[in-house]
Structure 1
Amino acid sequence: MATPKRRKAAGTYQAHRERQRRRILDAASQLFDERGIDRVTMADITSESGVQASTIYQYFSSKDDIVWAIVGELMGERGNLAGAAMKDAPNALARITILLGLMAEDLSQNPEKVRFMAQFDAMYARNWPVERLLALESQIHPEPFQFFRKLIKDGIADGSLRPDLDPDLTMHAVMNAVIGAQRRLASLGSKVEAEYGRPIDQLLRESIRILLLGIRGDTAQARSSKRKSTAKSKTRKRSSS
């Protein structure tokens, strides 16, 4: 059985390793944003992080592994934020609105992270198999596709979403549309603002607003369905009494 002194030493060593790992990832993230992922080498990351090359290779076997580690962290952070924010939303449309709103906040508050994901998309398309991304997504959320499917089905049932939506397709289409716009706007930044005369955050929020209008249910119909459901419930209670 480990003594308190040994446990303390082990904890100190683990904390040291985590700090070193953090230095490597932070240095790589900065370089990727400044120069582009393709133009950064492991030697560059070694120099920027101040961690010896032999030590870096104890954590990551290649630059690709560093890229994927950053992707995993970003996806995990955003998944946790979305889960917490959507928890108390009153209906499916409200949950979707919150989810897309967080993506707009990311564009305005963390554009460098969105730019990184745009670069990752291009490299993923060229260099990596879809199975690697699916494996990473499953670690963060065991059944992301089922979550999206349930979200649309719940929205149809509660009246907040249109009844003709396809549960297996709608959220994938919406997410790809917003992700595509978000990452393009982050990559082009001030050039888009100069071209259109509007902040990139405002452009994305308007895109999201229009998409939400396209999927929302008839609010009058939703209220009518709720009234009918309430009336049926009261009738059943009177019948059973």
Structure 2
Amino acid sequence: MTAQTTSQPRRALRLGVAGPVGTGKSSTIANLCRALAEEFRIGVITNDIYTDEDARFLRSEGVLPGERIRAVETGACPHTAIRDDVTMNLLAVEDLERDFDPLDIVLVESGGDNLTATFAPSLVDAQLFVLDVAGGGDVARKGGPGIGRADLLVINKIDLAPYVDVDVEQMLADASQAREGRAVVGVSRKQPETVETLARWVREMHAAFLGGGHTPQDPGPMAPHFHADDSEEGGYVHTHGDGDAATADGSTAGAVAGHRH
């Protein structure tokens, strides 16, 4: 009898996409899939607390074969599943890589979160942070780990700037300053040249990944942030990485798994 051998699936470049609610994370992924699907075999993992709506949106857009788009329902605050305990996302990525081997790129979309959301480097090789002009021209100046130290900052929906009184060039300049010169790109799905700039960055990242020239960087832990709930205290302040959270009256709340929004 000949012994059967099983080979490990090829390890894809794993790119995280984070940012606040409504900035266009799913549309950014759709833009990338449309621009790169003929060059790369791509898979997508979306994250939401209680729904697979983002995955359904991407399937409805027809940007990839539907079976290569999968949803993770985190059941807790979004940053928990991309930062504190990445197990469910890591398993989903590995399953996707195994089922559709070989994949070149896996995009992991975080659930909508605040300005400090970051991926653990154990989950992704590089991360994009997405803002949009409708959130205000000053938001890029506010900094934080996501804005300041993600591998790429995307200022999305720049075509809306005239309607919300935002100076795009100033917002991009503020973002570049906040990031100390790290990469920033302004994008509109209605301006193909901007999508191509975004796609070119991904191509370059993939080439660096294959060549061993990219090392995943940890943007740093999330800043302390407040979680509202229906308790008498009204919620609690949570700091990722210490396992505890201070309530509004200064006492401690339980583990991350108990988060409520």
TM range (shorter): under 0.3
Query: Who wins on radius of gyration, i.e. which is larger?
Result: 1
Q: Which of the two has greater strand per residue?
A: 2
TM-score when normalising by structure 2: 0.26
